[in-house]
Structure 1
Amino acid sequence: MTATAGNGKSGQAMQRPPVVSQEAWDAAHRQLLAKEKAHTRARDALAAERRRMPWMAVERQYAFEAPQGRLSLHDLFEGRHQLIVYRAFFEPGVFGWPEHACRGCSMVADQVAHVAHLNARDTTLVFASRAPQADIARLKEQMGWTMPWVTITDDFDKDFGVDEWHGTNVFYRDGERIFRTYFVNNRGDEQMGGTWNYLDITPLGRQEVWEDSPAGYPQTATYKWWNWHDSYVADAEPDKKWVEVSDAGEAAFREESAKARS
Protein backbone atom coordinates (compact mmCIF):
# COMPACT_ATOMS: atom_id res chain seq x y z
CA MET A 1 0.00 0.00 0.00
CA THR A 2 1.27 3.46 -0.81
CA ALA A 3 0.92 6.33 1.62
CA THR A 4 -0.77 9.50 0.39
CA ALA A 5 1.14 11.80 2.73
CA GLY A 6 4.49 12.05 4.47
CA ASN A 7 6.62 11.46 1.39
CA GLY A 8 10.36 11.73 1.93
CA LYS A 9 12.67 14.22 0.26
CA SER A 10 13.59 11.56 -2.29
CA GLY A 11 10.17 11.97 -3.87
CA GLN A 12 9.34 8.29 -3.37
CA ALA A 13 6.04 7.38 -1.73
CA MET A 14 6.24 5.84 1.74
CA GLN A 15 5.61 2.09 1.57
CA ARG A 16 3.41 1.14 4.51
CA PRO A 17 2.92 -2.36 5.95
CA PRO A 18 -0.22 -4.28 4.95
CA VAL A 19 -3.54 -3.67 6.70
CA VAL A 20 -4.88 -6.95 8.13
CA SER A 21 -7.66 -8.40 10.27
CA GLN A 22 -7.69 -8.43 14.09
CA GLU A 23 -6.73 -12.13 14.08
CA ALA A 24 -3.79 -11.62 11.73
CA TRP A 25 -2.66 -8.57 13.67
CA ASP A 26 -2.76 -10.54 16.95
CA ALA A 27 -0.72 -13.36 15.41
CA ALA A 28 1.90 -10.91 14.12
CA HIS A 29 2.02 -9.22 17.51
CA ARG A 30 2.56 -12.56 19.30
CA GLN A 31 5.47 -13.36 16.99
CA LEU A 32 7.08 -9.99 17.63
CA LEU A 33 6.38 -10.18 21.37
CA ALA A 34 8.31 -13.45 21.62
CA LYS A 35 11.35 -11.73 20.11
CA GLU A 36 10.88 -8.72 22.38
CA LYS A 37 10.79 -10.98 25.45
CA ALA A 38 14.01 -12.65 24.28
CA HIS A 39 15.54 -9.20 23.86
CA THR A 40 14.51 -8.26 27.42
CA ARG A 41 16.06 -11.44 28.84
CA ALA A 42 19.25 -10.81 26.86
CA ARG A 43 19.36 -7.23 28.16
CA ASP A 44 18.97 -8.49 31.74
CA ALA A 45 21.78 -11.01 31.19
CA LEU A 46 24.01 -8.26 29.81
CA ALA A 47 23.29 -6.09 32.87
CA ALA A 48 24.18 -9.05 35.10
CA GLU A 49 27.48 -9.39 33.25
CA ARG A 50 28.05 -5.65 33.61
CA ARG A 51 27.68 -5.98 37.40
CA ARG A 52 30.60 -8.41 37.32
CA MET A 53 32.88 -6.17 35.27
CA PRO A 54 36.20 -5.38 37.01
CA TRP A 55 36.65 -2.01 38.72
CA MET A 56 39.42 0.54 38.26
CA ALA A 57 40.66 2.51 41.27
CA VAL A 58 40.54 6.29 40.87
CA GLU A 59 43.86 7.51 42.25
CA ARG A 60 43.79 11.21 41.31
CA GLN A 61 41.98 13.98 43.11
CA TYR A 62 39.49 16.02 41.07
CA ALA A 63 37.80 19.33 41.79
CA PHE A 64 34.50 20.77 40.58
CA GLU A 65 32.64 24.01 41.05
CA ALA A 66 29.05 23.76 42.27
CA PRO A 67 26.44 26.17 43.61
CA GLN A 68 27.62 25.38 47.14
CA GLY A 69 31.30 25.93 46.28
CA ARG A 70 34.27 23.73 45.41
CA LEU A 71 33.62 19.98 45.55
CA SER A 72 35.73 16.85 45.19
CA LEU A 73 34.72 13.74 43.25
CA HIS A 74 33.98 12.18 46.63
CA ASP A 75 31.62 15.06 47.44
CA LEU A 76 29.61 14.46 44.26
CA PHE A 77 28.34 11.15 45.68
CA GLU A 78 26.36 13.14 48.30
CA GLY A 79 26.96 10.32 50.77
CA ARG A 80 25.67 7.59 48.47
CA HIS A 81 27.65 4.63 47.15
CA GLN A 82 27.03 5.07 43.42
CA LEU A 83 27.66 8.06 41.16
CA ILE A 84 26.73 8.56 37.50
CA VAL A 85 28.43 11.48 35.74
CA TYR A 86 27.25 12.62 32.33
CA ARG A 87 29.65 14.90 30.47
CA ALA A 88 27.45 17.53 28.81
CA PHE A 89 28.95 20.02 26.36
CA PHE A 90 28.11 23.55 27.45
CA GLU A 91 31.04 25.93 27.21
CA PRO A 92 32.67 28.45 24.86
CA GLY A 93 33.14 26.94 21.41
CA VAL A 94 30.13 24.63 21.63
CA PHE A 95 27.35 25.27 19.11
CA GLY A 96 24.62 27.27 20.82
CA TRP A 97 26.87 28.95 23.38
CA PRO A 98 26.01 30.86 25.48
CA GLU A 99 22.22 30.64 25.03
CA HIS A 100 22.14 26.85 24.76
CA ALA A 101 24.14 23.70 25.44
CA CYS A 102 24.91 21.16 22.72
CA ARG A 103 21.69 20.01 21.04
CA GLY A 104 22.33 16.32 21.69
CA CYS A 105 23.34 16.87 25.32
CA SER A 106 20.26 19.03 25.77
CA MET A 107 18.05 16.22 24.47
CA VAL A 108 19.63 13.91 27.04
CA ALA A 109 18.95 16.48 29.77
CA ASP A 110 15.34 16.83 28.61
CA GLN A 111 14.64 13.14 29.12
CA VAL A 112 16.25 12.63 32.53
CA ALA A 113 13.73 11.15 34.96
CA HIS A 114 13.26 12.55 38.45
CA VAL A 115 16.51 11.87 40.31
CA ALA A 116 14.66 11.00 43.54
CA HIS A 117 14.14 7.48 42.18
CA LEU A 118 17.89 7.04 41.63
CA ASN A 119 18.63 8.52 45.04
CA ALA A 120 16.31 5.91 46.57
CA ARG A 121 18.61 3.25 45.12
CA ASP A 122 21.75 4.76 46.69
CA THR A 123 22.68 6.47 43.40
CA THR A 124 23.50 10.09 42.52
CA LEU A 125 23.31 11.53 39.00
CA VAL A 126 25.41 14.57 38.10
CA PHE A 127 25.92 16.47 34.85
CA ALA A 128 29.35 18.04 34.30
CA SER A 129 30.47 20.76 31.87
CA ARG A 130 33.18 23.42 31.61
CA ALA A 131 30.78 26.37 31.64
CA PRO A 132 30.91 28.63 34.72
CA GLN A 133 28.28 28.00 37.38
CA ALA A 134 26.48 31.27 36.63
CA ASP A 135 25.87 30.13 33.05
CA ILE A 136 24.81 26.65 34.16
CA ALA A 137 22.32 28.08 36.65
CA ARG A 138 20.86 30.35 33.98
CA LEU A 139 20.58 27.48 31.48
CA LYS A 140 18.94 25.13 33.99
CA GLU A 141 16.31 27.73 34.86
CA GLN A 142 15.73 28.50 31.18
CA MET A 143 15.28 24.85 30.23
CA GLY A 144 13.57 23.61 33.39
CA TRP A 145 16.34 21.16 34.34
CA THR A 146 16.85 20.25 37.99
CA MET A 147 19.63 17.64 38.10
CA PRO A 148 22.89 18.57 39.86
CA TRP A 149 25.28 20.15 37.33
CA VAL A 150 28.90 20.95 38.16
CA THR A 151 31.78 22.72 36.43
CA ILE A 152 34.88 20.69 35.50
CA THR A 153 38.06 22.52 36.58
CA ASP A 154 40.83 20.03 35.78
CA ASP A 155 41.58 16.92 33.66
CA PHE A 156 38.54 14.92 34.77
CA ASP A 157 37.05 14.96 31.27
CA LYS A 158 40.32 13.98 29.59
CA ASP A 159 41.10 11.23 32.11
CA PHE A 160 37.69 9.60 31.68
CA GLY A 161 37.31 9.80 27.90
CA VAL A 162 34.88 12.69 27.64
CA ASP A 163 37.04 15.66 26.68
CA GLU A 164 36.03 15.60 23.01
CA TRP A 165 32.71 13.76 23.07
CA HIS A 166 29.83 13.17 25.45
CA GLY A 167 29.81 10.09 27.65
CA THR A 168 28.54 8.62 30.90
CA ASN A 169 30.92 7.36 33.60
CA VAL A 170 29.85 5.31 36.60
CA PHE A 171 31.70 5.26 39.92
CA TYR A 172 31.38 3.36 43.19
CA ARG A 173 32.46 4.70 46.58
CA ASP A 174 33.75 2.36 49.28
CA GLY A 175 34.50 4.62 52.22
CA GLU A 176 37.12 7.06 50.96
CA ARG A 177 38.07 4.91 47.98
CA ILE A 178 36.49 5.51 44.59
CA PHE A 179 36.34 3.10 41.65
CA ARG A 180 35.36 3.55 38.03
CA THR A 181 32.98 0.71 37.19
CA TYR A 182 31.52 1.48 33.75
CA PHE A 183 31.58 3.86 30.78
CA VAL A 184 29.24 4.32 27.81
CA ASN A 185 29.18 6.87 24.98
CA ASN A 186 28.16 7.35 21.35
CA ARG A 187 24.88 5.55 20.61
CA GLY A 188 25.02 3.87 23.99
CA ASP A 189 24.10 7.23 25.49
CA GLU A 190 20.86 7.38 23.50
CA GLN A 191 19.01 5.19 25.98
CA MET A 192 20.11 7.19 29.02
CA GLY A 193 17.58 9.26 30.92
CA GLY A 194 15.22 6.66 32.36
CA THR A 195 15.62 5.41 35.92
CA TRP A 196 15.91 1.77 34.84
CA ASN A 197 18.52 2.40 32.16
CA TYR A 198 20.65 4.36 34.60
CA LEU A 199 20.39 1.69 37.30
CA ASP A 200 21.23 -1.05 34.78
CA ILE A 201 24.67 0.49 34.16
CA THR A 202 25.53 0.73 37.87
CA PRO A 203 27.49 -1.97 39.73
CA LEU A 204 24.57 -2.65 42.09
CA GLY A 205 21.89 -2.63 39.40
CA ARG A 206 18.22 -2.17 40.28
CA GLN A 207 18.83 -3.99 43.58
CA GLU A 208 15.72 -6.16 43.29
CA VAL A 209 15.65 -9.85 44.24
CA TRP A 210 14.99 -11.13 40.72
CA GLU A 211 18.32 -9.81 39.43
CA ASP A 212 21.33 -12.05 38.88
CA SER A 213 23.87 -10.25 41.05
CA PRO A 214 27.02 -11.39 42.88
CA ALA A 215 26.60 -12.73 46.41
CA GLY A 216 26.18 -10.08 49.08
CA TYR A 217 24.87 -7.35 46.78
CA PRO A 218 21.98 -5.35 48.29
CA GLN A 219 18.58 -6.47 47.03
CA THR A 220 15.04 -5.73 48.13
CA ALA A 221 11.64 -7.14 47.16
CA THR A 222 10.63 -6.40 43.59
CA TYR A 223 8.41 -3.32 43.21
CA LYS A 224 8.21 -2.67 46.96
CA TRP A 225 10.62 0.30 47.00
CA TRP A 226 8.82 2.18 44.22
CA ASN A 227 7.22 5.42 45.33
CA TRP A 228 6.10 8.89 44.29
CA HIS A 229 9.17 11.06 43.86
CA ASP A 230 8.09 13.35 46.71
CA SER A 231 7.37 10.50 49.12
CA TYR A 232 10.63 8.59 49.61
CA VAL A 233 11.32 8.32 53.32
CA ALA A 234 13.99 6.11 54.85
CA ASP A 235 12.57 2.97 56.52
CA ALA A 236 8.98 3.95 55.67
CA GLU A 237 6.46 1.12 55.52
CA PRO A 238 4.90 0.70 52.04
CA ASP A 239 1.17 1.32 51.70
CA LYS A 240 -0.87 -1.88 52.24
CA LYS A 241 -2.79 -1.46 48.99
CA TRP A 242 0.45 -1.04 47.04
CA VAL A 243 1.83 -4.21 48.65
CA GLU A 244 -1.19 -6.12 47.34
CA VAL A 245 -0.78 -4.69 43.85
CA SER A 246 2.96 -5.34 43.76
CA ASP A 247 2.51 -8.88 45.14
CA ALA A 248 0.21 -9.62 42.21
CA GLY A 249 2.69 -8.13 39.78
CA GLU A 250 5.55 -10.10 41.31
CA ALA A 251 3.56 -13.34 41.04
CA ALA A 252 2.91 -12.64 37.37
CA PHE A 253 6.61 -11.92 36.87
CA ARG A 254 7.60 -15.23 38.47
CA GLU A 255 5.08 -17.11 36.34
CA GLU A 256 6.37 -15.51 33.17
CA SER A 257 10.00 -16.25 34.14
CA ALA A 258 9.08 -19.90 34.84
CA LYS A 259 7.48 -20.21 31.40
CA ALA A 260 10.55 -18.68 29.76
CA ARG A 261 12.80 -21.27 31.45
CA SER A 262 10.58 -24.25 30.53
Structure 2
Amino acid sequence: MTTTKQPLPSVVSLEEWKLALDQFLVKEKALTRARDALSAERRKLPVVKVAKNYTFQGESGPVSLLDLFEGRRQLIVYHFMYAPDWKAGCGGCSWVADAMTHPAHLHARDTSLVMVSRAPLEKLEQYRSRMGWAYPIPWYSSYESDFNYDVGVTTAEGEKHGASVFIRDGNTIYRSYFTGARGVEYLGSLWTYLDLTPFGRQETWEDSPEGWPQTEPYGWNRRHDEYGV
Protein backbone atom coordinates (compact mmCIF):
# COMPACT_ATOMS: atom_id res chain seq x y z
CA MET A 1 0.00 0.00 0.00
CA THR A 2 1.44 3.37 -1.01
CA THR A 3 0.98 6.57 0.95
CA THR A 4 1.37 10.15 -0.20
CA LYS A 5 3.23 12.48 2.10
CA GLN A 6 1.20 15.63 2.68
CA PRO A 7 2.98 19.00 2.33
CA LEU A 8 3.98 20.63 5.62
CA PRO A 9 5.85 23.82 6.57
CA SER A 10 9.36 23.47 7.99
CA VAL A 11 9.47 21.81 11.41
CA VAL A 12 11.91 23.55 13.78
CA SER A 13 12.70 23.80 17.46
CA LEU A 14 10.64 25.96 19.83
CA GLU A 15 13.42 28.57 19.97
CA GLU A 16 13.65 28.78 16.17
CA TRP A 17 9.88 29.05 15.90
CA LYS A 18 9.74 31.91 18.42
CA LEU A 19 12.50 33.78 16.59
CA ALA A 20 10.80 33.39 13.21
CA LEU A 21 7.45 34.45 14.67
CA ASP A 22 8.91 37.55 16.36
CA GLN A 23 10.56 38.62 13.11
CA PHE A 24 7.31 38.16 11.22
CA LEU A 25 5.21 40.06 13.78
CA VAL A 26 7.36 43.16 13.24
CA LYS A 27 6.27 43.17 9.59
CA GLU A 28 2.68 42.41 10.52
CA LYS A 29 2.55 45.33 12.96
CA ALA A 30 3.97 47.61 10.25
CA LEU A 31 1.16 46.52 7.94
CA THR A 32 -1.42 47.26 10.65
CA ARG A 33 -0.03 50.76 11.10
CA ALA A 34 0.01 51.31 7.34
CA ARG A 35 -3.63 50.20 7.15
CA ASP A 36 -4.51 52.63 9.97
CA ALA A 37 -2.83 55.43 8.03
CA LEU A 38 -4.75 54.48 4.88
CA SER A 39 -8.03 54.47 6.81
CA ALA A 40 -7.21 57.93 8.17
CA GLU A 41 -6.66 59.15 4.61
CA ARG A 42 -9.98 57.58 3.57
CA ARG A 43 -11.79 59.50 6.33
CA LYS A 44 -10.50 62.74 4.79
CA LEU A 45 -11.72 62.00 1.26
CA PRO A 46 -14.18 64.48 -0.27
CA VAL A 47 -17.79 63.45 -0.85
CA VAL A 48 -20.22 63.93 -3.73
CA LYS A 49 -23.88 64.85 -3.37
CA VAL A 50 -26.48 62.29 -4.45
CA ALA A 51 -28.85 64.39 -6.52
CA LYS A 52 -31.24 61.73 -7.83
CA ASN A 53 -34.09 60.10 -5.93
CA TYR A 54 -34.09 56.30 -5.92
CA THR A 55 -36.82 53.85 -4.97
CA PHE A 56 -36.08 50.38 -3.61
CA GLN A 57 -38.39 47.52 -2.76
CA GLY A 58 -38.14 46.09 0.75
CA GLU A 59 -40.11 43.80 3.02
CA SER A 60 -42.32 46.71 4.08
CA GLY A 61 -42.82 48.14 0.59
CA PRO A 62 -41.11 50.89 -1.41
CA VAL A 63 -38.42 52.94 0.34
CA SER A 64 -35.99 55.71 -0.58
CA LEU A 65 -32.23 55.85 -0.25
CA LEU A 66 -32.74 58.08 2.78
CA ASP A 67 -34.94 55.39 4.34
CA LEU A 68 -32.07 52.89 4.10
CA PHE A 69 -30.18 54.93 6.71
CA GLU A 70 -32.94 54.13 9.26
CA GLY A 71 -32.24 57.47 10.92
CA ARG A 72 -28.49 56.92 11.27
CA ARG A 73 -25.77 59.24 9.89
CA GLN A 74 -23.87 56.68 7.81
CA LEU A 75 -24.91 53.93 5.42
CA ILE A 76 -22.90 51.08 3.90
CA VAL A 77 -24.46 49.42 0.86
CA TYR A 78 -23.10 46.06 -0.24
CA HIS A 79 -23.85 45.67 -3.93
CA PHE A 80 -24.81 42.00 -4.09
CA MET A 81 -24.59 40.63 -7.64
CA TYR A 82 -27.97 39.21 -8.53
CA ALA A 83 -29.35 40.14 -11.97
CA PRO A 84 -33.11 39.86 -12.58
CA ASP A 85 -32.74 36.82 -14.87
CA TRP A 86 -30.35 34.86 -12.64
CA LYS A 87 -31.55 31.69 -10.94
CA ALA A 88 -29.47 32.35 -7.81
CA GLY A 89 -27.36 35.07 -6.25
CA CYS A 90 -23.61 35.37 -6.87
CA GLY A 91 -21.57 32.73 -5.02
CA GLY A 92 -18.81 35.16 -4.08
CA CYS A 93 -21.30 37.74 -2.79
CA SER A 94 -22.89 34.95 -0.77
CA TRP A 95 -19.53 34.38 0.93
CA VAL A 96 -19.43 38.08 1.84
CA ALA A 97 -22.96 37.86 3.25
CA ASP A 98 -22.02 34.73 5.22
CA ALA A 99 -19.29 36.72 6.98
CA MET A 100 -21.23 39.93 7.70
CA THR A 101 -21.02 41.23 11.26
CA HIS A 102 -24.05 41.52 13.50
CA PRO A 103 -25.61 44.89 12.58
CA ALA A 104 -26.09 45.92 16.23
CA HIS A 105 -22.37 46.73 16.49
CA LEU A 106 -22.55 49.06 13.48
CA HIS A 107 -25.78 50.64 14.73
CA ALA A 108 -23.97 51.54 17.94
CA ARG A 109 -21.68 53.66 15.75
CA ASP A 110 -24.57 55.41 13.96
CA THR A 111 -24.05 53.27 10.84
CA SER A 112 -26.47 51.08 8.88
CA LEU A 113 -25.52 48.16 6.63
CA VAL A 114 -27.78 46.89 3.84
CA MET A 115 -27.51 44.81 0.69
CA VAL A 116 -28.94 45.93 -2.66
CA SER A 117 -29.45 43.82 -5.78
CA ARG A 118 -31.24 44.28 -9.12
CA ALA A 119 -33.21 41.03 -8.87
CA PRO A 120 -36.87 41.41 -7.86
CA LEU A 121 -37.62 41.27 -4.15
CA GLU A 122 -39.32 37.88 -4.41
CA LYS A 123 -36.09 36.32 -5.68
CA LEU A 124 -34.05 37.98 -2.93
CA GLU A 125 -36.35 36.66 -0.23
CA GLN A 126 -36.31 33.14 -1.67
CA TYR A 127 -32.53 33.15 -1.85
CA ARG A 128 -32.18 34.54 1.69
CA SER A 129 -34.38 31.69 2.92
CA ARG A 130 -32.23 29.18 1.06
CA MET A 131 -29.01 30.60 2.54
CA GLY A 132 -30.45 30.83 6.06
CA TRP A 133 -28.46 33.93 6.99
CA ALA A 134 -28.59 34.33 10.74
CA TYR A 135 -28.09 38.09 11.00
CA PRO A 136 -30.94 40.41 9.96
CA ILE A 137 -29.08 42.39 7.27
CA PRO A 138 -31.77 44.23 5.27
CA TRP A 139 -31.79 43.32 1.56
CA TYR A 140 -33.44 45.63 -0.97
CA SER A 141 -34.27 45.31 -4.64
CA SER A 142 -33.29 48.09 -7.03
CA TYR A 143 -35.32 46.47 -9.81
CA GLU A 144 -36.57 49.07 -12.34
CA SER A 145 -34.29 51.68 -10.72
CA ASP A 146 -31.22 53.44 -12.10
CA PHE A 147 -29.36 52.98 -8.83
CA ASN A 148 -27.07 50.11 -9.85
CA TYR A 149 -26.22 51.82 -13.12
CA ASP A 150 -25.54 55.19 -11.52
CA VAL A 151 -23.20 53.78 -8.87
CA GLY A 152 -21.31 51.78 -11.49
CA VAL A 153 -22.07 48.19 -10.49
CA THR A 154 -24.24 47.39 -13.49
CA THR A 155 -22.48 48.19 -16.77
CA ALA A 156 -22.50 47.14 -20.40
CA GLU A 157 -20.10 44.36 -19.39
CA GLY A 158 -22.50 43.02 -16.77
CA GLU A 159 -22.89 42.98 -12.99
CA LYS A 160 -20.17 43.95 -10.52
CA HIS A 161 -19.98 43.59 -6.76
CA GLY A 162 -18.74 46.22 -4.36
CA ALA A 163 -19.47 48.37 -1.33
CA SER A 164 -20.58 52.01 -1.33
CA VAL A 165 -20.54 54.32 1.67
CA PHE A 166 -22.95 57.21 2.13
CA ILE A 167 -23.23 59.91 4.79
CA ARG A 168 -26.12 62.29 5.32
CA ASP A 169 -26.54 65.80 6.63
CA GLY A 170 -30.21 65.95 7.51
CA ASN A 171 -31.99 64.79 4.36
CA THR A 172 -29.05 65.54 2.07
CA ILE A 173 -27.08 62.43 1.10
CA TYR A 174 -23.46 62.24 -0.02
CA ARG A 175 -21.44 59.33 -1.40
CA SER A 176 -18.05 59.11 0.27
CA TYR A 177 -16.41 55.87 -0.85
CA PHE A 178 -16.60 52.82 -3.09
CA THR A 179 -14.54 49.64 -3.32
CA GLY A 180 -14.95 46.61 -5.53
CA ALA A 181 -13.09 43.57 -6.84
CA ARG A 182 -10.64 42.33 -4.14
CA GLY A 183 -11.38 45.40 -2.04
CA VAL A 184 -14.26 43.54 -0.38
CA GLU A 185 -12.26 40.43 0.54
CA TYR A 186 -11.35 41.54 4.04
CA LEU A 187 -14.84 42.75 4.98
CA GLY A 188 -16.60 40.87 7.74
CA SER A 189 -15.95 42.28 11.20
CA LEU A 190 -17.47 45.49 12.51
CA TRP A 191 -13.98 47.04 12.40
CA THR A 192 -13.47 46.45 8.69
CA TYR A 193 -16.84 47.96 7.85
CA LEU A 194 -16.40 50.98 10.11
CA ASP A 195 -12.97 51.61 8.57
CA LEU A 196 -14.73 52.33 5.25
CA THR A 197 -16.81 55.17 6.65
CA PRO A 198 -16.04 58.90 7.00
CA PHE A 199 -16.28 58.69 10.80
CA GLY A 200 -14.28 55.45 11.06
CA ARG A 201 -14.33 53.56 14.36
CA GLN A 202 -14.94 56.85 16.16
CA GLU A 203 -12.26 56.18 18.75
CA THR A 204 -9.84 58.69 20.24
CA TRP A 205 -6.66 57.06 18.89
CA GLU A 206 -7.70 57.60 15.28
CA ASP A 207 -6.28 60.38 13.12
CA SER A 208 -9.56 62.01 12.12
CA PRO A 209 -10.58 65.57 11.20
CA GLU A 210 -11.41 67.92 14.06
CA GLY A 211 -14.96 67.56 15.28
CA TRP A 212 -15.38 63.92 14.24
CA PRO A 213 -17.34 61.90 16.85
CA GLN A 214 -14.94 59.92 19.04
CA THR A 215 -14.99 58.00 22.32
CA GLU A 216 -12.42 55.98 24.22
CA PRO A 217 -11.73 52.51 22.72
CA TYR A 218 -13.17 49.39 24.36
CA GLY A 219 -15.69 51.49 26.26
CA TRP A 220 -18.59 51.60 23.81
CA ASN A 221 -18.78 48.11 22.32
CA ARG A 222 -21.06 45.52 23.90
CA ARG A 223 -22.47 42.08 23.25
CA HIS A 224 -25.00 42.53 20.46
CA ASP A 225 -27.98 42.13 22.82
CA GLU A 226 -26.65 44.63 25.39
CA TYR A 227 -26.71 47.90 23.45
CA GLY A 228 -29.11 50.36 25.04
CA VAL A 229 -29.03 48.57 28.40
**What interval of TM-score do these two structures reach, taking the shorter chain for normalisation?**
over 0.9
What is the root-mean-square deviation in Å for CA atoms of aligned residues? 1.3
1:148 lines up with 2:149 in the alignment: no
CA–CA distance in structure 1, aligned partners of residues 124 and 226 of structure 2 = 28
CA–CA distance in structure 2, aligned partners of residues 30 and 176 of structure 1 = 51
The aligned counterpart of 2:226 is 231
Which of 97, 102, 114 in structure 2 is aligned with 1:126? 114
Once the two structures are superposed, what CA deviation does each residue of 1:52-103 show, in whole Å capped at 9, x if it has no partner? 0011111111110011111110110000000001111223343xx1xx3110
The aligned counterpart of 1:201 is 196
CA–CA distance in structure 1, aligned partners of residues 77 and 38 of structure 2 = 21
Shift in Å, 1:144:
1.9
Shift in Å, 1:141:
2.2
TM (norm. structure 2) is: 0.92
1:114 lines up with 2:109 in the alignment: no
Tell me the amino acid that sits aligned with residue 213 of structure 1: S
TM (norm. structure 1) is: 0.81
Please say if residues 85 and 169 of structure 1, whose CA atoms lie closer than 8 Å, have aligned partners that are also in contact. yes
Tell me the amino acid that sits aligned with residue 184 of structure 2: D
3-state SS of the aligned residue for 2:185? helix
CA–CA distance in structure 2, aligned partners of residues 193 and 71 of structure 1 = 26
Tell me the amino acid that sits aligned with residue 156 of structure 1: F
Tell me the amino acid that sits aligned with residue 188 of structure 1: G
The aligned counterpart of 1:221 is 216
3-state SS of the aligned residue for 2:167? strand
The aligned counterpart of 2:59 is 67
The aligned counterpart of 1:248 is none
1:181 lines up with 2:176 in the alignment: yes
Tell me the amino acid that sits aligned with residue 169 of structure 1: S
Which of 1, 5, 19 in structure 2 is aligned with 1:27? 19
Aligned length: 219
Shift in Å, 1:139:
1.8
Tell me the amino acid that sits aligned with residue 109 of structure 1: A
Please say if residues 161 and 167 of structure 1, whose CA atoms lie closer than 8 Å, have aligned partners that are also in contact. no
Deviates more, 1:114-123 or 1:145-154: 145-154
Shift in Å, 1:226:
1.0
Shift in Å, 1:47:
0.2
Please say if residues 118 and 148 of structure 2, whose CA atoms lie closer than 8 Å, have aligned partners that are also in contact. no
Identity score, percent: 52
Which of 85, 88, 108 in structure 1 is aligned with 2:80? 88
Shift in Å, 1:219:
0.3
1:55 lines up with 2:47 in the alignment: yes
CA–CA distance in structure 2, aligned partners of residues 83 and 134 of structure 1 = 24
Shift in Å, 1:135:
2.1
- Give the ranges of 4+ consecutive aligned residues of structure 1 lying more than 2 Å apart after TM superposition: 90-94
